[in-house]
Amino acid sequence: MPVPQTWIEENASSMAQAAERDLEALVAISSPSADLEAAERVVAVATAMAPEGSRVERLPSSTPEHAPDLLITVGGPGSRRLLLVGHLDTVVSHGDFISARRSGGRLIGSGTYDMKGGDAIALALLGALAGREELGEASLLLVNDEEWRTGPFIHAPRFAGFEACLCFEGGQQGPNGEDAVVVRRKAAVALRVSAQGRASHSGSAPERGANALLALAEIARTVDRCSDPDGPDRLTAVPTQMEAGVALNVVPPSGELVCDLRADRLEAFDAVEAAIPGRVGEVAIEVARDREWPGMDSEAASAGVLAAASSALGRPVVGAARGGASDASHFAGTIPLTIDGLGPCGGHAHHPDEYVELPLTGRCEVALAVADAILKSP
């Protein structure tokens, strides 16, 4: 008599097949942030992939002038509530878009790893979850502004009180080749420094000007000196962009410097701001924060779930840290059991060689095992 299959075994193969098919369909659409028409096309495709009988809603985007986000919900007879999270937008512009193609054991194409591969697994998992006896509700939130959000994230309050949040950013391996998921992320902010000086002719009267470029260069060095990656908050403070000047022969009257700050806590950025003066000589300085992302640390909260998932699979599923920002961080403050990095393994995000590794079976097993452990937990 054959041994009865577990829920994971029953669903892994069909889920992987569906995810691989859906991934190619999603990647076939170029969907850079802020392109309304492209967003509506990819939303229509994702909606067509929704499990039969699911409820589909469009929610306002956190960023003005972006397409509404997509929420797909399935139910069950139980009480557990799970939130699945992904994003449909990509960084890659239409002009740089690379269509999907297979090469060896990889699917290469724009958005495969960040993060349409994860979206495809999340959609397939939603179908497997529908009707589970422990489940009351499983919702998949797919946003259209993750790659270039300009306003505060607005969705977290709606899902406060859910048992778990599972985010499907690209997966990774542990130090010994184990299946890994992300349980820690740094806080992040883009620090925007504006300088207002005074123009003058750079050849005949440079002394009459107030050089905004030089002031910003001095501030860039100040920010760089704040970086302390081995310190208690693992703070990195990196000047990344600077624009200044209006012409070859004019002292730059204004400019802007952007710095990427990462640390375990948002509060660690206060010291960087405090180090920036309000004036450099005769140049006035203003500082503002863009794209503020909180930190995430669910290592303790997820330990039991990952142990149960490892036991169910017969191989380790380990928690890992990642420096990049993710929408999972926005939910971790109200949903302590937040696990990210449940998408497929791959790499080269935002690059012409972006890829995910095929087949998707192993990563689908991980997603199923984590969800199963959450539903069965006391």
Give, for all 378 residues of the chain, the pLDDT tens digit.
Answer: 344 579 999 999 999 999 999 999 999 999 999 999 999 999 999 999 999 999 999 999 999 989 999 999 999 999 999 999 999 999 999 999 999 999 999 999 999 999 999 999 999 999 999 999 999 999 999 999 999 888 899 999 999 999 999 999 999 999 999 999 999 999 999 999 999 999 999 999 999 999 999 999 999 999 999 999 999 999 999 999 999 999 999 999 999 999 999 999 999 999 999 999 999 999 999 999 988 899 999 999 999 999 999 999 999 999 999 988 899 999 999 999 999 999 999 999 999 999 999 999 999 999 999 999 999 998
Per the document, the length of the chain is 378
Q: Where are the alpha helices (DSSP H) in the chain?
A: 7-27, 36-48, 117-129, 212-226, 269-275, 299-313, 328-332, 361-376
> Measured between alpha carbons, how far is residue 109 from residues 45, 101, 344 in Å?
17, 7, 14
Reading across the β-sheet that carries 254-263, which strands appear in turn?
236-244, 254-263, 187-196, 283-293, 279-280
Given 2.30.30.220, 3.30.70.360, 3.30.420.40, 3.10.450.50, which CATH number is that of 188-293? 3.30.70.360
Distance CA 244, CA 285 (A): 13
State the amino acid at position 64 in one-letter form: P
Phi, psi angle pair for 239, to nearest 5°: -65, 130
Architecture of 7-186+295-376 per CATH?
A: 3-Layer(aba) Sandwich (3.40)
State the amino acid at position 210 in one-letter form: A
The CATH 3.40.630.10 portion of the chain extends over 7-186+295-376
Q: Which of 262, 231, 234 lies closest to 326 in space, CA to CA?
A: 262
Distance CA 279, CA 39 (A): 43
Residue 233, number of CB atoms within 10 A of its CB: 19
Distance CA 267, CA 85 (A): 26
Helix (H) or strand (E) segment spanning residue 258: strand 254-263
User: Any bridge partners for residue 228, and if so which?
Assistant: 235
Distance CA 92, CA 232 (A): 35
Q: Which of 113, 78, 63 lies closest to 92 in space, CA to CA?
A: 113
Three-state SS annotation for 82-113: EEEEEECCECCCHHHCCCCEEECCEEECCCHH
Per-residue pLDDT at 5? 73
Q: How many CA atoms lie within 13 A of 341 on its CB side?
A: 26
Distance CA 194, CA 282 (A): 14
Per-residue pLDDT at 325? 84
The CATH 3.30.70.360 portion of the chain extends over 188-293
- pTM confidence score: 0.91
Contact 218, 209 (CB under 8 A): no
